[in-house]
Amino acid sequence: MKDKTVILGIETSCDETSVSVVVNGEKVLSNVISSQMEIHQAFGGVVPEVASRRHVERITLIIEQALTEANVTKDQLSAIAVTQGPGLVGALLIGVAAAKALAFALRIPLIPVHHIAGHIYANHLVTPLRFPLIALVVSGGHTELIYMEDHMRFERIGRTRDDAVGEAFDKVARLMNLPYPGGPHIDRLAAQGSPAYPLPRAWLGKESLDFSFSGLKSAVMQFIKQNERYSEKNLAASFQDAVLDVIVEKTFRAMEQRGVEHLVVAGGVAANSGLRSRLHHRAKQNNRTLCIPPLELCTDNAAMIASAAYFFYDAEKKADLELNAVANLPLV
């Protein structure tokens, strides 16, 4: 362990309390994820105050569990990494406070990490990132296309102008009376149906790499109001088709525009089977490399934070104990 960089990462930006130990940014020794999903399910979405309280209750235990599973003692740690933002500020604060306390007590560096940088670096845990690359980040809170020329160099070239894609999945699922989170339910139904109902696609211009999903969501709402009886499977398939048409097209448009060969995907919506198969197909067709991490690394986890932090550690981008959580932290 002596000549290795052992980073303990903490992630509490939303409804997962996660702590992980990662060596040299690529070898995961432990990645403990304590999900609060069942608690929030009753409310049909994440309740910020409930999330913060649950993080407070869990964080110390999860830190201990991550160290035990990794078979690492605190004095073997090189640094503490933590998600600084974006996210729910009350939830982020719990992770930041825990990270500061640990770094102070152990007299080791404290490394703040942007949540989206973390999502992208989940791919580095699968295969080392190759540059330049395009990262498609699709989650409950984000829909972004990021261009990276090298490690830690992020350029946001596309973003959503309204709802995030996962949010759109969840809202449409709610309109269809499916349980929260609705993404996986839409995915399952869509696989059994066909895109028989015409729904709009927001292209936002020929060159644009931005996204918009609120019009599509309203169209589904109108459709449900106007049609007392409809096929759930076909509506799910029609909605998913409209979303994926735009996402896949714009991702490959971005690669074309920037002359990029490598594509990485991140975020909870990367679990979508339709998205995965379409991206694989298109990447093969266009001769591009594609990496989609396994599910547990696509959704929120601390291993991705500890991996990204390794490159900040090398770049000496360390914080002091004044570090604060920032709900709308910009990536660049």
Give the interface with ligand KG4 as residue ranges (CB under 6 A): 14, 139-141, 166, 169-170, 181-184, 187, 267-269, 271-272, 299-300
Q: How far apart are CA 297 and CA 302, in angstroms?
A: 9
Q: Helix 183-192 and helix 165-175: axis angle, to 10°? A: 70
- When asked if residue 144 is in the footprint of Zn ion (CB under 5 A), the reply is no
- When asked if residue 20 is in the footprint of Zn ion (CB under 5 A), the reply is no
- When asked if residue 83 is in the footprint of Zn ion (CB under 5 A), the reply is no
What does the DSSP assignment read for 33-96?
Answer: EEE-HHHHHTTTS--HHHHHHHHHHHHHHHHHHHHHHHT--GGG--EEEEEEESS-HHHHHHHH
- Mark residues 284-313: x for contact with Zn ion by CB under 5 A, - for none: ----------------x-------------
Smallest distance from ligand KG4 to CB 30, Å: 19
Of 6 and 270, which has the nearer Cβ to ligand KG4? Answer: 270
**Which segments within the chain are labelled E, that is strand?**
6-11, 16-23, 27-35, 79-85, 110-114, 133-138, 143-148, 154-159, 262-266, 289-291
Q: Which does 187 bind (CB under 5 to 8 A by kind): ligand KG4, Zn ion, none?
A: ligand KG4
DSSP state of 324: -
Of 204 and 327, which has the nearer Cβ to Zn ion? Answer: 327
Smallest distance from ligand KG4 to CB 184, Å: 4
Q: Which does 11 bind (CB under 5 to 8 A by kind): ligand KG4, Zn ion, none?
A: none
CA angle 169, 48, 323 (to 5 degrees): 110
Smallest distance from Zn ion to CB 8, Å: 19
What are 72's strand-pairing partners? Answer: none
The radius of gyration of the chain's CA atoms, rounded to the nearest angstrom, is 20
Of 109 and 181, which has the nearer Cβ to ligand KG4? Answer: 181
Smallest distance from ligand KG4 to CB 10, Å: 15
Of 170 and 241, which has the nearer Cβ to ligand KG4? Answer: 170
Smallest distance from ligand KG4 to CB 276, Å: 9
Question: CB atoms < 10 A from the CB of 290, how many?
Answer: 18
